């Protein structure tokens, strides 16, 4: 039987408050609690709560025939505990059904995989602990890296940490003539399976669903079922990966996105030979068809599917470089607040806000940014980082004196 | 003696240094018991009552006066040929030029018979306001004959000064606080240059805020040197400001404070910062202000990988300006072209040693400062490093700089101005 794999990314960053030069050295609280709380509450009402309820209904209705997969970033889980215990409870209920898989990722939704192996490993372990704590001892077997960033090297690191499989983008320039609808394996460590996003079908739901100028608007379950039936029979797995906030936040309820999801399983069961599986189920029963070569990191962002949304311009590279210069010192400090801020400052969103690709994907960047311009984002981040650096150095100094 | 003075702004409603200088000058004149009729396009009602203020927005123009029409016709030309208006869309521009190309006698009635509400801003109707302001100048000169001399500040009020002179026959002083070459470098705005030039040549005498500005006036505007007097600006209050605001970072701070534009030379500050940081990373540089080069400066700082030591504050106002001066260990003004430049004197009041460019007027009056060419980033870096590390020199600057400041009084400037007036009047009669 062929299968569909739904994986939803659930993430909220800790956004910085407007932090001025004059605050450096004095104000050590960097986070915009009000904004973070209100975003969390808004998205909870529009997306997390109604969509979780809908998914729970579907799972119960089909008694496990329908299943989904989540990855919850650590910064999301922290904010959920602080601002939305009701959302946490609904996720716990979903996981308790046994038909929902959780993936591991870096706790801080960071780009550490590109910079520091040890920091990457720390972040993965922290995430594991957090999931264990919140979800009744649950231990993920499959890993997904921030923004689906993947390369042969990163895959090897993931394999080394004992994961069975990972997820990434089915980027055109990587696949060439190949199809994303098979299971592949890592180029260095073949025991690590790689699942590739079918970006065509995923983005039909995530990006184009409510777009009235799209030739295929409106997207109905009949239409979607027809498309997946058109996929050659030999191709076994369709990976539909998207942000969870697609439902109700990026695509408003008025577009009919909830109704689409409510009726999709029924249409799939009635008119196709597809079922639903989670990544660990898939890698358990489907044999990989070959190795996938990814010498240069890819991601699921923008038209280029590369790293340029977060790194590459001078603002981003400077901020990113200066942040990781602190790693060695931070590792020597055992202070919960320093550790927390270090983690939250690594979140990829901070670098995303500094992106200057105005003319291609700039509009989607501005939509997600709390800043007026990438320059404002950079200044604010660097001010905060300057204060953080001072704190780190003071701690180190104090430790040296104490010794 | 009674002076009819045309300005463009007056404290507390100011957007540039011009208003502050006018304020200081009027105050100095009052000290010498000189009477001033001060005209501004728009009065707000909360100006300090130290002159006989005239609000140009209250003046209704008598259209039967034939001479006014010829003034207006001449000015129309300036307005029409102006490309100053920065925010004009294509449609508006079309209207604007259509209106300009046709002879405007048909609208004369409405122009001459109504009062005109000046905005007093530097907005898109700037040229029209300048022209109408000139008519107001003519009307005032006709209504009041109780003045001996006319004094106009910068190009915005030069047409008013010229018109007043034509109507009254009284001598005109043109006061130059900045020229188009300071504002725009070599790419000058022709209509503005034309007005500046016309004002300087129509004037009986020209005052310049520095020798530097006098040189520009002589070289670029063709005014004979003997017709130009240098009248340096002064400070309103020379007392030392003791701030209770404390610095919160351990590093020393080097500051640039001003508009981030071509004229102010911000890029030289960035390059010098890089050089200093290579030698001593324990310094923080701050660029306070806003302007069209801000984003380019941020890019450059990131490219040089010094953003953890180089900070941007955005536009500062009120107490934040004082705080910034107070926590600065060195103040740098690397202006490419600065007719005067009052901000280093503010820094001195906060006991902060200063580095100023040789291309600034203030360099002519301040001895206890390090002076470098704006383009000489090595010298700028050296000087910064020295002031940060060699206590002797910064200590000396602090002590002597404040002494120097006490000599820079507006009443001295006013006294010099009165002499200028007397000479002009003597030559006239």
Q: What sign for the dihedral angle of Cα A72, A317, A14, A81? A: positive
A327 as an active site residue: the answer is no
Best of A18, A20, A21 to substitute, by most chain B Cβ atoms within 10 angstroms, is A21
Same domain, B365 and B313: yes
End-to-end Cα separation, chain B, in angstroms: 15
Same domain, B401 and B419: no
Residue ranges in chain B modelled with pLDDT below 70: 15-16, 63-64, 72-115, 119-125, 429
- Is ipTM over 0.90? no
User: Given an 8 Å threshold on Cβ–Cβ distance, is B303 in contact with A386?
Assistant: no
Q: What per-residue confidence (pLDDT) applies to B60?
A: 80
Answer whether residue B173 is part of any domain. yes
d(CA B280, CA B389): 10
Chain B interface residues (partner A, CB cutoff 8 A): 247-250, 284, 286, 294-295, 298-299, 301-303, 305, 307-308, 311-314, 320, 323
Q: What per-residue confidence (pLDDT) applies to B14?
A: 72
Same domain, B204 and B154: yes
Q: What per-residue confidence (pLDDT) applies to B121?
A: 62
User: Given an 8 Å threshold on Cβ–Cβ distance, is A26 in contact with B248?
Assistant: yes
CATH assignment of the domain containing B279: 3.40.50.2000
Sequence-ordered alpha helix ranges (H) in A272-373: 279-285, 314-324, 327-332, 336-345, 348-352, 362-368
Q: Domain residues for B39?
A: 2-234+411-428
Same domain, B200 and B57: yes
Strands A68-72 and A291-292: unpaired
In CATH, what class is A2-292? alpha beta
Q: What per-residue confidence (pLDDT) applies to A365?
A: 59
d(CA A346, CA A142): 22
Same domain, B285 and B417: no
Best of A314, A381, A384, A398 to substitute, by most chain B Cβ atoms within 10 angstroms, is A314
Q: What per-residue confidence (pLDDT) applies to B236?
A: 85
Give how far the C-alpha of residue B220 lies from the chain's centroid of Cα atoms, to the nearest Å. Answer: 18
Q: Name the segment(s) of chain A with CATH classification 3.20.110.20.
A: 2-292
Same domain, B11 and B134: yes
User: Given an 8 Å threshold on Cβ–Cβ distance, is A22 in contact with B250?
Assistant: no
Per-residue CA distances from B108 to B66, B112, B118, B124, B210 (Å) = 12, 6, 18, 21, 41
Residue of B nearest to A315 (CA): B302
Q: What per-residue confidence (pLDDT) applies to B69?
A: 72
Answer whether residue B242 is part of any domain. no
Residue of B nearest to A379 (CA): B312
Q: Which of A232-241, A263-272, A354-363, B64-73 is least confident? A: A354-363
The string of pLDDT tens digits covering residues A63-92 is 989 999 999 999 999 999 999 999 999 999
Q: What per-residue confidence (pLDDT) applies to B84?
A: 41
Answer whether residue B416 is part of any domain. yes
* Residue A53: strand, helix, or coil: helix
| Nearest residue, CB atoms, B308 vs list A317, A322, A373 | A322
Same domain, B269 and B142: no
Same domain, B373 and B262: yes
With beta carbons under 8 A apart, name residues in chain A contacting B252.
none
Same domain, B323 and B211: no
Q: Which of A152-156, A347-351, B69-73 is least confident? A: B69-73
Q: Which residue has the higher pLDDT, B125 or A141?
A: A141
Residue partners of A98: CB distance under 8 A and separation at least 6: A64
d(CA B90, CA B73): 26
For residue A340, pLDDT over 60 is answered with: yes
**Structural domains of chain B, count:** 2
Q: What per-residue confidence (pLDDT) applies to B271?
A: 97
Q: What per-residue confidence (pLDDT) applies to B45?
A: 82
Residue of B nearest to A27 (CA): B248
Answer whether residue B159 is part of any domain. yes
Answer whether residue B239 is part of any domain. no
Shortest Cα distance, chain A CAs vs residue B299, angstroms? 7
With beta carbons under 8 A apart, name residues in chain A contacting B312.
21, 379
With beta carbons under 8 A apart, name residues in chain A contacting B296.
none
Q: What per-residue confidence (pLDDT) applies to B418?
A: 95
Answer whether residue B166 is part of any domain. yes
The string of pLDDT tens digits covering residues A354-376 is 988 764 454 555 667 888 888 88
Answer whether residue B246 is part of any domain. no
Choosing from A119, A147, A245, A249, which is the catalytic residue? A147
Same domain, B347 and B202: no
Query: Residue A218: is the preceding peptide bond cis (ω within 30°)?
Result: yes
d(CA A393, CA B362): 41
Give the mean pLDDT of chain A: 94
């Amino acid at each position: 039987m062929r299968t569909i794999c739904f994986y939803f990314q659930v993430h909220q960053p800790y956004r910085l408050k407007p932090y001025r030069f004059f605050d450096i050295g004095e104000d050590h609280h960097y986070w915009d609690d009000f904004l973070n709380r209100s975003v969390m509450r808004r998205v909870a009402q529009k997306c997390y709560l109604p969509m979780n309820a809908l998914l729970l209904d579907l799972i119960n209705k089909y008694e496990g025939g329908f299943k989904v997969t989540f990855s919850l970033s650590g910064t999301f889980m922290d904010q959920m505990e602080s601002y939305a215990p009701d959302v946490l409870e609904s996720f716990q209920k979903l996981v308790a059904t046994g038909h929902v898989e959780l993936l591991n990722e870096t706790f801080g939704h960071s780009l550490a995989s590109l910079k520091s192996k040890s920091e990457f490993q720390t972040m993965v372990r922290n995430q594991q602990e957090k999931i264990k704590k919140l979800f009744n001892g649950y231990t993920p077997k499959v890993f997904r890296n921030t923004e689906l960033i993947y390369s042969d090297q990163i895959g090897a690191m993931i394999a080394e940490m004992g994961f069975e499989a990972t997820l990434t983008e089915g980027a055109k320039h990587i696949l060439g003539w190949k199809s994303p609808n098979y299971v592949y394996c890592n180029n260095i460590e073949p025991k690590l399976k790689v699942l590739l996003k079918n970006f065509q079908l995923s983005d039909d739901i995530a990006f184009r669903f409510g777009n009235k100028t799209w030739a295929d608007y409106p997207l109905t379950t009949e239409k979607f079922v027809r498309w997946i039936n058109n996929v050659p029979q030999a191709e076994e797995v369709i990976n539909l990966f998207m942000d969870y906030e697609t439902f109700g936040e990026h695509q408003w309820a008025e577009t009919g996105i909830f109704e689409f999801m409510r009726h999709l399983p029924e249409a799939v069961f009635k008119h196709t030979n597809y079922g639903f599986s989670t990544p660990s189920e898939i890698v358990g029963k489907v044999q990989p068809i070959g190795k996938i070569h990814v010498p240069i990191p890819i991601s699921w962002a923008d038209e280029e599917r590369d790293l340029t949304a977060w790194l590459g311009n001078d603002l981003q590279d400077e901020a990113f470089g200066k942040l990781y210069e602190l790693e060695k010192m931070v590792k020597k400090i055992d202070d919960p607040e320093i550790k927390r801020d270090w983690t939250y400052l690594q979140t990829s969103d901070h670098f995303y806000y500094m992106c200057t690709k105005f003319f291609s994907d700039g509009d989607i960047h501005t939509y997600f940014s709390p800043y007026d311009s990438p320059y404002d984002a950079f200044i604010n981040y660097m001010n905060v980082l300057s204060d953080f650096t001072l704190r780190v150095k003071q701690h180190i100094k104090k430790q040296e004196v104490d010794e | 003696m009674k002076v009819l003075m045309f300005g463009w702004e007056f404290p507390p409603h100011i957007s540039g240094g011009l208003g502050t200088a006018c304020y200081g000058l009027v105050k100095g004149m009052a000290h010498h018991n000189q009477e001033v009729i001060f005209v501004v396009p728009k009065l707000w009602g909360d100006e300090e009552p130290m002159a006989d203020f005239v609000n140009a927005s209250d003046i209704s123009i008598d259209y039967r006066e034939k001479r006014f029409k010829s003034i207006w016709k001449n000015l129309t030309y300036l307005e029409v040929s102006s490309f100053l208006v920065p925010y004009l869309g294509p449609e508006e521009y079309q209207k604007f030029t259509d209106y300009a190309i046709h002879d405007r006698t048909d609208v004369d009635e409405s122009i001459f018979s109504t009062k005109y509400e000046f905005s007093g801003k530097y907005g898109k109707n700037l040229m029209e306001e300048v022209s109408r302001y000139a008519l107001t100048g003519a009307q005032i000169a006709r209504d009041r004959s109780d003045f001996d001399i006319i004094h106009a500040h910068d190009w915005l009020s030069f047409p008013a000064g010229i018109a007043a002179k034509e109507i009254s026959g009284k001598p005109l002083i043109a006061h130059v606080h900045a020229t188009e070459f300071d504002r725009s470098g070599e790419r000058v705005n022709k209509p503005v240059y034309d007005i500046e030039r016309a004002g300087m040549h129509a004037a009986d005498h020209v005052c310049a805020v520095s020798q530097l500005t006098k040189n520009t006036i002589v070289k670029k505007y063709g005014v004979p040197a003997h017709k130009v007097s240098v009248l340096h600006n002064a400070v309103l209050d020379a007392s030392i400001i003791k701030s209770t605001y404390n610095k919160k970072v351990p590093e020393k701070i080097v500051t640039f404070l001003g508009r981030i534009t071509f004229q102010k030379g911000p890029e030289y500050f960035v390059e010098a910062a890089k050089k200093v940081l290579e030698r001593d990373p324990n310094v923080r540089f701050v660029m306070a202000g806003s302007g069209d080069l801000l984003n380019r400066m941020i890019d450059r700082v990131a490219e040089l990988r010094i953003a953890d030591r180089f900070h941007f504050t955005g536009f500062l106002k009120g107490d934040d300006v004082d705080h910034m001066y107070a926590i600065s260990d060195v103040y740098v003004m690397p202006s490419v072209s600065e007719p005067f430049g009052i901000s280093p004197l503010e820094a001195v009041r906060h006991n902060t040693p200063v580095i100023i460019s040789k291309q600034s007027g203030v360099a002519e009056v301040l001895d206890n400062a390090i002076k470098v060419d704006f383009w000489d980033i090595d010298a700028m870096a050296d000087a910064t490093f020295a002031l940060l590390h060699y206590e002797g020199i910064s200590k000396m600057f602090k002590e002597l700089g404040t002494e120097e400041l006490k000599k820079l009084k507006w009443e001295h400037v006013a006294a010099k101005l009165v002499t200028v007036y007397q000479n002009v009047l003597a030559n006239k009669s």
